[in-house]
Structure 1
Amino acid sequence: MDWHKNFQSVLLCDVFYRYPIVLSYKSKFFFLRVPYRKKVMSYSVRWLMRRGQYVCSNCVVLLCSIFMFANLFTGVLLLAMHDDLKKQECSISEADAIEYPNCREKMQWMEEGWRTHKCYAFYGVNGTSCSFRIYLSEIEKYCPWMALRLVTSLSSFSIVRFVGLWLMHIPLFMERILSGLFKLMFDNELNYKFIRTRITLLWPKWLSAYDELMIKWPEVVSLQRKLNIIMGFLSREAGFKFGQLSSTGGPLGELVQWSDLIAALYLLGHNLMISTEVRTLKKNIKKIDYKCPCPLQDGEIINLLFTDIVGLRYLRGKMKDFFNRMKCKLRILDSFGTHAEFNSRIYFAAHKNSLGGSRKNPWGGFGRLGPFISNIILIFKDRSSVGYDPLVYGKAGYMWKNAKRLIETVRKFTEVHATVSDNLPDFDNLIINHGVLIGPELHALMRKAKIFLGLGFPFEGPAPLEAIANGVVFINPSFNPPKSRKTSDFFKDKPTLRELTSQNPYAELFIRRPHNSSRVEDAIREALRLQDFCYVSRFPPLHAMITVEAVSMQSCQDACCQHNFLCERSFSRIVNMPEFLNKSGSCATLKSMPIPYECSKQENSDLYSCASVPTILDIRRICPCRDFLQGQTALCSSCL
């Protein structure tokens, strides 16, 4: 029997041995009266045994035997437990209500709302509280699974799912050829010029990182998802001309981030739809049924939608139905690191004076959305430094303002190289200017340097990390006082309260040896596998939470960092529960206020924030923290 026949046989086993149990278990079996339920299960068991004799003669005997006995055991177990299932409570316990805060509200809505669309009946809802509970736990995820249904589900499908995942591993290796990815980038050649060049240049390193990932985590396979990527900042409507300016000294930070994100998602085997223009976006989503309130079928679904602030504005203003449907599936690639205070219009309007900076909020005010992803940067393996000394980080003339004294000091010891697009008459005798370089030329120049000299701007750009990846030492200027909305014109209208203590805080805090390129794929794979923000997040897991008590006038971001942890905003709902607050100390009373003080809880979950600093000296925040993996802050030690 050759491989193809074996493969077909495994699929036959999957269908024949899972199908009868699925029919009785996943559809309306539990809504039948007991006599009919017994007949269905008895028939399923007998049918399973008869089919076993036929199917196992045409498939891999060992796998078939495993499937047969696993499903036979499940069938007998279901038959024996029907009375217990009938008696099982479908109401929500207090413990479940804490972990699933929206469950009871959804159960109440279903009492009348299940008749509003036929899709609820399609999924087995019939007006009983148990059917509501089953739908809200197994089809949607607002409620916990019922214990007995969880047990029977795991016993029935665990082996089949394991083999299925193993088989799904095979096509992931097919995504090694870039022509398939580049065919998805068709709506504007200029917009994709830099992205294609960068991905092509780094593709061998991506392949190496993927192989390293598969060796390190061979048992974990990322399920294929349908992902819609909308790069709004490149659209004609935005008018920024990032693509056109990419080869003449224009800003590259956003292009670098999107290039690396797209490369990682494609290599991991996901089904991508990419657009930089509105017409392409509308073409990509025309098959989606926005009016269906139930989860869509696999062929019509978009699992996640990646976009930026510009794309978010367009979706909210021009495609409201689609925006409302996809709101919780949005992932915003945000170079600012937007804080909660700026996404709430009401809060910002009431506190804009105390927040400092501009009284306008052009990049915020979007309300509750999926997470904002900031600074997705690829870091490659370190190498020894060879070649000449400093290369200056500053490709535009305005970045060299007030830098002459520094360059003169460095010039006393060595030559100074630069890649500046503008003429710098004050520096003609001080530097060797190579002009604007991109792609291979820039990386070749970096590999010859020993030092990458920062001038203080741009903030948090990708170039320092790429220099480090090429074995270059980055001189990271420190800021005292820190740069923020209150001290820097650049940040005055940005939706963040962060205070930058250096030009590149990421390099300052987290760069450690070895620089590991597979870590970024670990993060993206785990995030796509575990995160679903349409419901209460289960990632990171709750057992990863570590609480820290902040000192007076300290944010949770700083308090967690002081203990070598990261503040985890998704845990804020746990810390904010009265039960937790009562356990944490001597809280005589609980109050709800927008800014944390004494034993108060945050009533507006949109304002959960790691960055908020109390305004009263006596206030000390209880902070939700977690640890992180060395070199990869997106993951915790118990996340994998």
Structure 2
Amino acid sequence: MRAQWMSDPYPCYSFYGVDGSDCSFLIYLSDIEWFCPPLAWRNHSSMPTTHPVPRIQASLRSDVGPLLEQVGTGKESLSFMRRRIRRLAAQWAAAARRLHTRLHSQDREQKRLGTWPVLVHVGFLTEESGDMFSPKVLKGGPLGEMVQWADILTALHVLGHSLRVSFSLKELQGFLGVPPGRGSCPLTGAFPFDLVYTDYHGLQQIKKLMGLSLKKYSSCMHSGVTAETHTPDNSFMGFVAEELNETERRSIQRNKVTNMAVVYGKEPSMWKVFIGFGFPYEGPAPLEAIANGCIFLQPKFQPPHSSPNHEFFRGKPTSRQVSSQHPYAEQYIGKPHVMTVDFNNSQELEAAIQEIMRTKVEPYLPYEYTCEGMLERLNAYIEHQDFCHPDAPFPLVNTSRSWPGNPPSPFTLLPNSSTLVWAPNVTAPPSWPPLSAMLLVLAPEGLSCVHTCQEEKLLCEPVFCRDMLQVQCEALEVEVSHLYPAVSAEEAECYLQKEPLLFSCAGAGPKHRRLCPCRDFIQGQQALCRDCL
């Protein structure tokens, strides 16, 4: 402190009253960084006692004017987001009314304590991240990320939550209340937000601004959200596609041109076929085309694209294998709206085109990509997901005697299968998703939990990873690996995941059989189980 108090972090030290004296050093190291024990002569009893603030009843909003003011102007990207928010405002309002009618008997609570708002920091549009998107908005550049963030902002606003939106480091620093310095200055008060939504760039920026203080609050930040249902390892936030009324649907069917294929167009009502050529992966355009009465023709990847064999995924922390340009459309929509074929097989491709020319389809939009579906999903996340106070994991089976049976276990094996379900004579502890939705399935050798659960017409649920310690094995090891929990393919040896946050539904290895936490789901709303609402 004596040698460096006027160097790099000086604005921080000065902010907290350090003036170069040993007395100020001791006070700072004791009261601010807690590096030294409390000083006996300091009045610590005057520290305010915090009490839980009653939650405020949320009220749905239909006026997007206040949100448009927060988004602001000055960039083409922001103008694009404002236009989208304004254009879909009526659909959001109608969806909110329908959702309110369905949930009117349930008391919804606003996800904030007192006046604490939700922070949404869109890092990829900040100047500090390079913002390569804004200059290309009107030149055919990618718009998918802006679509998703515009819809996230609108959904949070319509649900009645208090938002703070930042598109720059200056705004972010002001909202966080971070003292001056380069991230070495700790926050001493309560974190000003109950929930934070950001992206990869935004998370790095928050880390830089908050420095050591981030560790204390990082569990409340949610950056693991995706536009598409990539894998269950991240929460599916999604986006919406515009819904057609009956007049628009009839107009499309009446005016649709046959024998026409469109790769990119501004008037979807004239499309017959929407063709994907393999990239970009999982964008919103195919869903918008299907919602406007198109048939989506896309390539099948053989072998599937993944980190070992494709440059786009190389170096990314995922074991995911992508079977087509838009796996969601392939697996959950399918024929007649989606045709997935090997473009290298001319006979298969020609047969698919002939089938498309004979097929008539109605506009189709999955519920989870409607305004109501996104509001329902996001509302459930905010009410039930808890990143700040996760439930304690179960004890290991060898150390727990709280379950009946010999050996003790809360699970029972289904007849003629390798599937475990929650025992009917055991009361499940509180959890979300509820443990009643969980089935444990032992995967075949070399298959991931994504594929294993799909084979059972279920979905992998990583939240249940912490509840999978009730396993009886001859030998047990607890390690950090994206392949665990698993069972050795050759020996009766079990491997459990030491770090639950690293559990991967997509991980697979030739020497292990994954123990997969599967769950049921609502048709058209995969993010939620049947008992999740």
Whether the 8 Å contact between 1:483 and 1:500 is mirrored in structure 2 is: yes
Query: Is the CA contact 2:260–2:273 (under 8 Å) kept in the aligned structure 1?
Result: no
Q: Does 2:119 match 1:228?
A: yes
Larger Rg: 1
Residue 380 (structure 2) aligns with? 526
Query: Within 1, Cα distance between the matches of 2:77 and 2:186?
Result: 29
1:478 counterpart letter in structure 2: K
2:71 equivalent among 167, 185, 210: 185
Provide, for residues 204-258 of structure 1, a one-character-per-residue CA deviation record: whole Å limited to 9, x for no partner. 2111211111122212334253210111100111113312211111111111111
**CA deviation digits over 1:57-108, x for unaligned, max 9?**
xxxxxxxxxxxxxxxxxxxxxxxxxxxxxxxxxxxxxxxxxxxxxxxxxxxx
Q: Deviations over 1:356-414 (max 9, x none)?
A: xxxxxxxxxxxxxxx84456122454646526668xxxxxxxxxxxxxxxxxxxxxx83
Q: Is the 8 A contact 2:261 2:274 kept in 1?
A: no
Q: How many residues align?
A: 398
Question: Is the contact made by 1:386 and 1:448 (CA closer than 8 Å) also made in structure 2?
Answer: no
CA distance in 1, matches of 2:92, 2:498: 44
Task: Find the counterpart in structure 1 of residue 352 from structure 2.
Answer: none
Q: CA RMSD in A?
A: 3.3
Structure 1 position 270 matched with structure 2 position 173: no
> What letter is aligned with 2:259?
T
SS at the partner of 1:477? strand
Q: Distance in 1 between matches of 2:95 and 2:227?
A: 25
Q: Which of the residues 460, 464, 467 maps onto 1:571?
A: 464
8 Å Cα contact 2:62/2:92 also seen in 1: no
Give yes or no for contact 1:544–1:638 (8 Å, CA) kept in 2: yes
Matched, 1:559 2:381: no
Taking structure 2 as the reference length, the TM-score comes to 0.67
SS in 2 for 1:184: helix
For 1:284, the equivalent position in structure 2 comes to 175
8 Å CA contact retained: 2:124, 2:202: yes
Structure 1: distance between partners of 2:437 and 2:45: 40
Residue 542 of structure 1, CA deviation: 2.4
Query: 2:211 & 2:162 partners in 1: Cα distance?
Result: 25
> CA separation in 2, counterparts of 1:195 and 1:218?
31
Picking from 228, 245, 253, the partner of 1:386 is: 253
CA distance in 2, matches of 1:339, 1:524: 17
> In the alignment, which residue of structure 2 is the partner of 1:549?
442
TM-score, normalized by length of structure 1?
A: 0.57
- Asked if the contact 1:388/1:450 (under 8 Å) is kept, the reply is no
Q: Give a deviation string over 1:457-483, Cα, whole Å, max 9, x none.
A: 110111111222223222232211111
Q: Look up the match of 1:604.
A: 499
Deviation at 1:514, TM superposition (A): 6.4
Task: Find the counterpart in structure 2 of residue 478 from structure 1.
Answer: 300
Same amino acid, percent of matched pairs = 31
| Contact 1:338 1:495 survives alignment (8 Å) | no
In the alignment, what sits opposite 2:344? none
Residues 386 and 493 of structure 1, relative CA distance in 2, 3 Å threshold: farther
CA pair 417-623 structure 1, distance change in 2 beyond 3 A = closer
Aligned runs of 1:73-152 on 2, under 5 Å?
122=49
Match of 2:287 among 458, 465, 479: 465
* One-letter amino acid matched to 1:310: H
Q: Aligned-pair distance for 1:186?
A: 3.0
What is aligned with 2:341? none
1:515 corresponds to which of 366, 371, 378: 366
- The answer to whether the Cα contact below 8 Å between 2:220 and 2:388 also exists between their aligned partners in 1 is yes
**Which stretches in structure 1 are left out of the alignment for 5+ residues?**
1-111, 125-138, 141-160, 341-370, 391-412, 420-433, 435-441
Partner of 1:626: 519
Q: Structure 1's 208 and 337: CA in aligned 2 closer, same or farther, altered over 3 A?
A: closer
CA spacing shift, 1:389–1:498, aligned 2, 3 Å:
farther
CA distance in 2 between partners of 1:375 and 1:508 (Å) = 19
Q: Distance in 1 between matches of 2:304 and 2:256?
A: 29
Is the CA contact 2:236–2:527 (under 8 Å) kept in the aligned structure 1?
no
Please give the residue correspondences for 1:263-412 in structure 2 after superposition, counting only pairs within 5 Å.
263-286=154-177, 291-292=187-188, 296=190, 301-332=192-223, 333-334=225-226, 372-373=234-235, 376-381=238-243, 383=249, 385-386=252-253
What letter matches 2:320 in structure 1? R
